[in-house]
Amino acid sequence: MKKRRLITSALPYVNNIPHLGNLIQVLSADVFARYCRLAGYETLYICGTDEYGTATETKAREEGITPKELCTRYYTIHKDIYDWFNISFDKFGRTSTDEQTEIVQSIFLKLYENGYINEQEIEQLYSEESDMFLADRYVRGTCPHCGYTEARGDQCENCGKVLDPSDLVDPRSALDNSRPVMRKTRHLYINLPAILPKLEAWMKEASVSGRWAHNALQMTHSWIRDGLKERSITRDLKWGIPVPLEAFAGKVFYVWFDAPIGYISITATHTSDWESWWRNPDNVELFQFIGKDNIPFHTVIFPSSLLGTHEQWTMLHHMSSTEYLNYESGKFSKSMGIGVFGNDAQETGIPADVWRFYMFYNRPETSDAVFTWDDFQEKTNGELIGNLSNLVNRTLTFVSRYYEGSMPQGAGSNPTFWAEVAEREAKITEFFEWAQLRSAFRAVFALSSLGNRHFQAGEPWKTRETDPDATAALLADLVYLVRDIAILIEPFLPETARRIAVFLGIEELTWSMLGTSEGITAVGRPEVLFRKLEDGQIKDLRERFSGSQADRAAAAKMDETFASSVRLVAARITDVKRHEKADKLFVEQIDDGSGAERQIVSGLVGFYEPEELVGKTVIVVDNLKPAKLRGELSQGMLLAAENEDRSIVEVLFLNDVEPGTQILLEGIDRTLEDPPVIDVDTFFSIPIEARQSVVRVADRPLTANGRQITTERVADGSVG
RNA sequence: GGCGGCGUAGCUCAGGUGGUAGAGCAAACGGCUCAUAUCCGUUCGGUCGGGGGUUCAAGUCCCUCCGCCGCUACCA
């Protein structure tokens, strides 16, 4: 009796539109689920959007709609994309449901009864105006580290320091601008260390029987080694699941606690019999498909939550974690809009099966992989069309042309050929069993290639009249091989498999048909399965979705960007001290002409002595967000040129330039009066270089009082 | 600087527990014509990032250096 298989793919966060890199997990689980169904396992594939949490609450607030409305909007986008890719979910649900509330609360209460939940009292900011505790990111104020006035309570966007909202100087509510007060609040923590012995006992066995990947195990172990502590599971938010304790009314669970439980609750929205899946470890195997960044949640946090209930749950059996898919020369990036997104794929006019083909042919199974348009074209034309599609086409065309579409009747099948096929099919099945999808897929193409060789070696176009009996037998073998290939690719290319089945007059493909030679009586004239990807088409797509094109455009106007975002001024160094707690840093007092005191920190120890700097006039980035370097405030940054190996660092000194003078780009002589505050990354995104001893941005030299700024020792190098 | 990952043929990638380097594509040549100028065969091609070590034997283990990516820092 085969076990039932419960399959999940990581729940995508609702307000992210998935790109090809994200789609891999959902597609992988789909292939596995389709395989399991064909192979006769009772299968359930569950996924859905993860909806609770501050991110959606904030975004909904900004747009003036309810979080639920926002989620519904995005849920539809997700669903459309997955539908287009033919993902065969048994249920694609969402986490904002009554079932989720009920199950999360009951799991929590079990943990609570079993003593794995602790509470701690902390002080948090509270808005009396809005009558609510403020989530970390709803508090704004002045960063205690760098002085940035718009710092958020969770993290200062300026200096990047992780903050506690209570650290903020002069805090205010981002909702109503009122001044929040400190108020005591209590939060609940799950005691993961207390559950650890159970977790380890379970993991020791599960990781072996489920054949967890080496890297997943290693990641889990290191996570346990240096990170396992009590984790807070509640928040003072509205958009979430209420904590079912009177003393905690008004609080909700933190998303990471409830999200994995979404797998269970979504099942519950699909069938009232959900416990037969999730509370049935003896008969159900759980396969989870995730990205490599998600491993600890599925190996530690979620299992711990379940183990802590002291009840029976269906726990993770096999985990398939994919690596990253990169795009052309870089990474897929949601924030920067780089790459191909789910909705883009639809608009290319390229069928879903072709996308699916390439995603699996090049699935990032054991290491990161790269999506390139050239490779996409090459693999599609060469393998999908030249190899597999061609075998189908040449075989079926031959039969329908020379045998009027009826199944050739010959001297019986070739046992040597079928022995080889059977061996390969067994291997492919084994790959499928452990979700080694890419290996399985490639092996199918190798099998197809074998078919092409068999066809070629048999030369039926020659023997058709000289030895009709043998020729008919050969063709019959090939037709059944085509049928087998249709079965084997169904999980990957469902639409294509269905079309081949139609040519062969087969209603339903199943794994048990593999290797058999019966059931087909007639062959229809096949239509071409795929159109080749043309050079011009690929070129257009590459340009349309090219990040580098945007980069080129940006580079072309880099000087403009610089002129409108970076303000450089001359400043005189009045004092230099060694930083007491740092080996490489000087702390300089400077006069920037404004009369105000100003301090900057520079990593010049070893390159300059203090007396070489005092009294000199240097160039300072004026509108850089202040930062604290090893405890000392740095309000700006001085410019220095360095050669390639950083063996020479040359501070850019100015002669006869008054402090406060703005440094300009030649040809763009406009001063910047009210510059935006920029962070270091923004600053460094615009390269300043020394070329032939002239300091430039793009090709424009920097000038002070109309004179070009030059270097003495570093003729060519970068400036920062 | 620290932690993690990676570096295998022109390209995209395979290579549990160490035992004479693999696939596909690209390139060159030849063959075939049933098939979407497709298919089949042959050849070419790598001191497995550099160096050192352990071993009878290392792409595979250890050390070190270099380069790239991610996170991070007294980067700037």
Which CATH number characterizes residue A505's domain?
1.10.730.10
The CATH number of residue A123's host domain is: 2.170.220.10
Tell me which residue range forms the domain holding A658.
558-719
Q: What is the pLDDT of residues A564-606, one digit of tens each?
A: 677 888 888 888 888 777 777 888 888 888 777 788 888 777 7
Regarding whether A370 and A284 lie in a shared domain, the answer is no
Q: Domain check: are A461 and A408 in the same one?
A: yes
Q: Which one has a higher pLDDT value, A474 or A158?
A: A474
Percent of chain A beyond pLDDT 70? Answer: 83
How confident is the model over A615-622, as a mean pLDDT?
84
Strand order in the sheet with A369-371: A330-331, A325-327, A369-371
Among all strands, which nt has the closest C1' to A645 (CA)?
A: B66
Encode A443-502 in three state secondary structure. HHHHHHHHHHHHHHHHCHHHHHHHCHHHHHHHHHHHHHHHHHHHHHHCCCCHHHHHHHHH
Contact of A456 with A381, CB cutoff 8 Å: no
Plot region of A473 (φ>0 → left; ψ -120 to 50 → alpha; else → beta)? alpha
Q: Which chain A residues 266-325 have CB under 7 A to strand B?
A: none
Rounded CA–C1' distance between A290 and B12, in angstroms: 24
Amino acid A639: pLDDT: 80
* Same structural domain, A396 and A303: no
- Asked whether residue A317 falls in the same domain as residue A203, the answer is yes
**A421 and A471 within one domain:** yes
Q: Does any strand B atom come closer than 7 Å to the Cβ of A629?
A: yes
Of residues A112 and A159, which shows the higher confidence score? A112
CATH number of the domain that residue A565 is part of: 2.40.50.140
Per-residue CB contacts under 7 A with strand B, chain A residues 431-490: 446, 449, 452-453, 455-457, 459-462
Contact A44, A451 (CB under 8 A): no
Least confident span in A134-148, A233-247, A370-384: A134-148
pLDDT band at A367 (very low <50, low <70, confident <90, very high): low
Would the Cβ of A643 be found within 7 angstroms of any atom in strand B? no
Domain boundary among A476, A497, A513: A513
Of A9-23, A253-267, A489-503, least confident by mean pLDDT is A9-23
Nearest nucleotide (C1') to alpha carbon of A378: B25
A277 shares its domain with A391 = no
- Tens of pLDDT, residue by residue over A416-440, are 899 989 988 998 998 899 888 888 8
Phi, psi dihedrals of residue A308, rounded to the nearest 5°: -65, -15
Number of H helices and E strands in chain A, helices first, is 25, 33
| Chain A span 336-395 residues with beta carbon within 7 Å of strand B | 362, 364-370, 372, 374-375, 378, 381-383, 385-387, 389-390, 393-394
Contact assessment for residue A142 and residue A149, using Cβ atoms and an 8 Å cutoff? yes
- In 3D, which of A48, A75, A116, A111 has the Cα closest to residue A265? A48
Residues A418 and A467 in one domain: yes
For chain A, the straight-line distance linking the first and the last C-alpha, in angstroms and rounded, comes to: 68
Cβ atoms of A649 and A690 within 8 Å: the answer is no
β pairing state of A284-291 and A4-9: parallel
Which nucleotides in chain B lie less than 7 Å from some protein C-beta? 4-7, 11-16, 23-26, 31-36, 38-41, 69-70, 73-76
Residue A549: per-residue pLDDT:
40
Mean pLDDT on A350-374? 82
From residue A582, give the alpha-carbon distance in Å to each of A116, A191, A576.
43, 38, 14
Give the position of tokens 């491993």: A295
Give the whole-angstrom CA distance, residue A334 versus residue A315.
32
User: Concatenated DSSP letters for A598-624?
Assistant: EEEEE--BTTB-HHHHTT-EEEEETTB
- Do residues A623 and A588 share a domain? yes
Mean pLDDT rounded to a whole number for chain A: 82
In this model, does residue A395 exceed pLDDT 90? yes
Q: Which residues pair with A578 in a beta bridge?
A: A586
Nearest nucleotide from residue A454 CA, by C1' atom: B40
* Out of A186-190, A274-278, A481-485, least confident range: A186-190
pLDDT in tens, A302-324: 999 999 999 999 999 988 877 66
Residue A692 region, left (φ>0) first, then alpha (ψ -120 to 50), else beta? left
Place of tokens 């440094």: A663
Measured CA A462 to C1' B28 distance, in angstroms: 29
Report which of A272, A278, A262, A274 is spatially closest to residue A311, judged by C-alpha positions.
A278
* A395, A498: one domain: yes
Per-residue model confidence as pLDDT tens digits over A40-67: 999 999 999 999 987 788 788 878 899 9
| Closest nucleotide relative to residue A436's CA, C1' based | B14
Question: Please, which pLDDT band fits residue A450 given cuts at 50, 70 and 90?
Answer: very high
Question: Is residue A498 over pLDDT 50?
Answer: yes
Q: Which residues pair with A331 in a beta bridge?
A: A326
Q: In the predicted model, is pLDDT for residue A38 greater than 60?
A: yes
Which nucleotide lies closest to A637 by the C1' atom and the CA atom?
Answer: B76
How far does the CA of A433 sit from the C1' of B47, in Å?
Answer: 40
Q: Which of A158, A154, A155 is nearest to A146 (CA)?
A: A158
In a domain, A708, yes or no: yes
Cα-based distances in Å from A679 to A566, A620, A635, A636:
10, 14, 12, 10
> Which of residues 212 to 271 on A have a Cβ less than 7 angstroms from any strand B atom?
214, 218, 222
Q: Is the pLDDT of residue A665 over 80?
A: no
Pick from A291, A233, A239, A234: nearest CA to A51: A239
**Residue A677 Cβ < 7 Å to strand B:** no
pLDDT at residue A155, as a whole number: 57
Rounded Cα–Cα distance for residues A81 and A92 (Å) = 12
Q: Please tell me the total count of domains within chain A.
A: 4
Q: Are residues A106 and A156 in the same domain?
A: no
**C-alpha A416 chain-centroid distance:** 46
A97 and A213 both lie in a single domain: yes
On whether residue A541 sits in a domain, the answer given is no
Q: Is the pLDDT of residue A550 over 50?
A: no
The token pair at A662 is 């703005």
Residue carrying structure tokens 């042309």: A401
Residue A44: both structure tokens together: 């359930």
Q: How confident is the model at residue A552 (pLDDT cuts 50, 70, 90)?
A: very low
Are A585 and A602 contacting, i.e. CB atoms less than 8 angstroms apart?
yes
Q: How far is the CA of A369 from the C1' of B57 (A)?
A: 33
The CB-side HSE value for A350 (13 A sphere, CA atoms) comes to 24
Neighbours of A155 (CB within 10 A): 15
Give the CATH number for residue A89.
Answer: 3.40.50.620
